[in-house]
Amino acid sequence: LKKASKRLTCHKRYKIQKKIREHHRKVRKEAKKRGHKKPKKDPGVPSAAPFKAELLREAEQRKQKLEELKQKQKLNRQKEHEKKRKLEAKKNAAKIKEKTEGKVGESSGKSKAKTNKLLDKNSKKSFCRELKKVIDASDVVLEVLDARDPMGCRCPQLEQAVTCSGGDKKLLLVLNKIDLVPKENLQKWLNYLKKEFPTVAFKSATLMKDRTMFTKRRARVDLSSTTERFGSKCLLKLLQDYGRTQNKTIQVGVVGFPNVGKSSIINSLKGVRACNVGLTRGVTKSMQIVHIDKQTKMLDSPSIIADPSNSALALALRSIIDTEEPGSAAMLEGVDAILNHCSKQQVVMHYSIPDFRNTEEFLTLLAQKRGMLKKGGVPDIENIAKTLLCDWTGAKVRYYSQPPGSPRPPPYLTEDKIAKMQECFNLKNLEEENNNTVQALKYPSPASSIIFQSAGMTDGTIEENKVIEDASEWENLETSKEGEEEEEDFTESDDDDHDEDDMEVEMDVKELGKRQTSPGNSEKQIPESEHSNSLSLSLDKTADEDDAYDFNTDYV
């Protein structure tokens, strides 16, 4: 069958058009009777009005305030949506896990036990427990220091625990990453540190992943090979000589703050990759025993936990950072502390960026230069802050600090304890070996390095009972049902808070709208000094503190 034609006769078409015109005419008549008129255009402030420019500026500021309040409300909603999406993703992942296991009844108990194990292994208390185990089991404790900031890597609590242990326990300082500081600066630090403890200059080997790969020429290349290492023979000889004097197999504990190179030193002494290493902080989570030879055992330990009472600089460089944590306030504070302790001109030259006014502008410029942008070309401040902190604790940034002017030992180090720590070690041979190590390496020039002001020793937590766990630190590891229920309650309370915030924002918007139509302030004349104060409006001020102007007032 053919489709019916849509063609009309001219009579019918004209009739329809006429009816439409009549209908529109009728609608216009009714609108006229009801009195609906077009809104009149705002005439603005008359030219004869006093303080016209100031009044216009105030009006513009009110308008900006309203826009900022609306933007704040929008951002809060987006954050809530992101939280809900993350929770839903976690729930879905947990459900898929339960289905794959096939045991719905027993899965809750098993997942609970697994979660407790993960939480226990990754918690700060577990780190302190393992560190204490290493210190107690060691005959010699190696405190690893970053040569760029040796004083900031020293932990007085650890040194006091070793020196005051009462036994024959010895403490050695290992100055690692010596290839990142100028030669003159390294010699100054060796002369300063050897007055307190025997100090070894060390440059650990950079170990690649234990795997092989094929190049374009199909040649088999082993990436587990090491680069050159310096100071390993000196340290190994020192430990072996001490073991012979004791006539027993000695256990050597390697301790220090995150990313100072503890595991890399053990790998360099062993000659192969025995311990896991990485740029992220907190890779080693438990004590590991590595046999160097028949007389020497090395004990790898987790990082020392930095005390929360330390300065922002110490926490930024020496604490374990949770990269999954969404909040960026702590990281921004850490970056700000680093920039405040460096020469601004040297930082600008090192990163090849233009001059900046504050930390946020610095991170924005760096993110744009490195191409770390979010959707819409917005600079990714959080990720660039994490990258910067990793660069400063890793081996990418060359900076150095000066040793203290007056060599005063800490109060827990008396002359007797210093002499006791230096017993059974051949200090002359150690000094000669250190000089050989210093002469064999290539060093950066002071002009290409950044001068850094150290914040002094960093307090650490060694006792397990003194650790304060962060509730949100390991939240991402929770997969049990109870954890999910708690998170649901948390989001509900968050939603309530969000609704309250929205109500407050809407009330502020209404108040600002009412203020613009309220009469009574037009007759007041504002002096210049008071007016200049009123111009410096902040976002934290409420609408009641501002002077309103009634634009409906007529001036004659």
* In a domain? residue 215: no
Q: Which pTM does this prediction carry?
A: 0.60
State the Cα–Cα distance between residues 519 and 536, nearest whole angstrom: 24
Shortest CA distance to 162 belongs to which of 457, 412, 419, 426?
412
Q: How many CB atoms lie within 10 A of CB 35?
A: 6
Write down which residue in 393, 419, 452 finishes a domain: 393
- What local confidence, expressed as pLDDT, does residue 329 receive? 76
Reported as a single tens digit per residue, the pLDDT across 361-378 is 999 999 999 998 988 889
- What local confidence, expressed as pLDDT, does residue 321 receive? 59
Q: How many domains does the chain have?
A: 2
Reported as a single tens digit per residue, the pLDDT across 506-533 is 545 444 444 444 434 433 343 444 443 4
Give the position of tokens 């036994």: 167
- What local confidence, expressed as pLDDT, does residue 97 receive? 81
State the Cα–Cα distance between residues 478 and 413, nearest whole angstrom: 44
What angle is formed at CA 521 by the lines to CA 515 and CA 523, rounded to 5 degrees? 155
Domain shared by 375 and 269, yes or no: no
Write down which residue in 412, 443, 474 finishes a domain: 443
Domain shared by 336 and 300, yes or no: no
- What local confidence, expressed as pLDDT, does residue 72 receive? 92
Domain shared by 246 and 355, yes or no: no
* In a domain? residue 419: yes
Burial of 239 (0-12, 13-18, 19+ CB in 10 A): buried
State the Cα–Cα distance between residues 276 and 112, nearest whole angstrom: 28
Q: How many CB atoms lie within 10 A of CB 329?
A: 7
Instruction: Identify the domain containing residue 129 by its residue range.
Output: 124-207+224-308+404-443
Domain shared by 358 and 317, yes or no: yes
Domain shared by 318 and 377, yes or no: yes
Q: How many helices (H) and strands (E) does the chain have?
A: 18, 12
Domain shared by 291 and 367, yes or no: no
3-state secondary structure 86-97: HHHHHHHHHHHH
- What local confidence, expressed as pLDDT, does residue 145 receive? 92
Domain with 368 in it: what CATH number? 1.10.1580
Kind of pairing between the strands at 305-306 and 288-291: unpaired
- What local confidence, expressed as pLDDT, does residue 21 receive? 97
Domain shared by 193 and 297, yes or no: yes
Within 8 A by CB and 6+ apart from 449, the residues are 180, 181, 182, 398, 399, 400
Spell out the per-residue pLDDT of the chain, length 556, in tens: 678 888 999 999 999 999 999 999 999 998 888 876 666 777 778 888 888 888 888 889 999 999 999 999 999 999 999 899 998 988 888 888 878 776 545 555 555 555 455 445 667 788 888 888 888 888 899 999 999 999 999 999 998 888 888 778 889 999 998 989 999 999 999 999 988 899 999 988 775 444 333 334 444 434 344 467 888 888 888 988 888 888 888 899 999 998 888 888 888 888 888 787 876 676 777 888 888 888 888 998 888 888 888 888 888 888 765 545 545 677 888 889 999 999 889 999 989 999 988 889 999 999 999 998 988 889 888 889 888 888 888 888 899 999 888 777 888 888 888 888 888 888 888 888 888 888 888 888 888 889 988 888 888 888 777 666 544 343 343 333 344 444 444 444 444 454 444 545 454 544 444 444 443 443 334 344 444 344 333 334 443 444 444 444 444 3
Within 8 A by CB and 6+ apart from 518, the residues are 548, 550
Burial of 286 (0-12, 13-18, 19+ CB in 10 A): middle
Q: Phi and psi of 248, rounded to 5°?
A: -160, 165
Domain shared by 257 and 173, yes or no: yes
Write down which residue in 370, 393, 416 finishes a domain: 393
Domain shared by 165 and 250, yes or no: yes
Contacts 24+ apart (CB under 8 A), 76-83: 76/498, 76/501, 76/502, 77/498, 80/494, 80/495, 80/498, 83/491, 83/494
* In a domain? residue 416: yes
Domain with 254 in it: what CATH number? 3.40.50.300
Domain shared by 246 and 332, yes or no: no
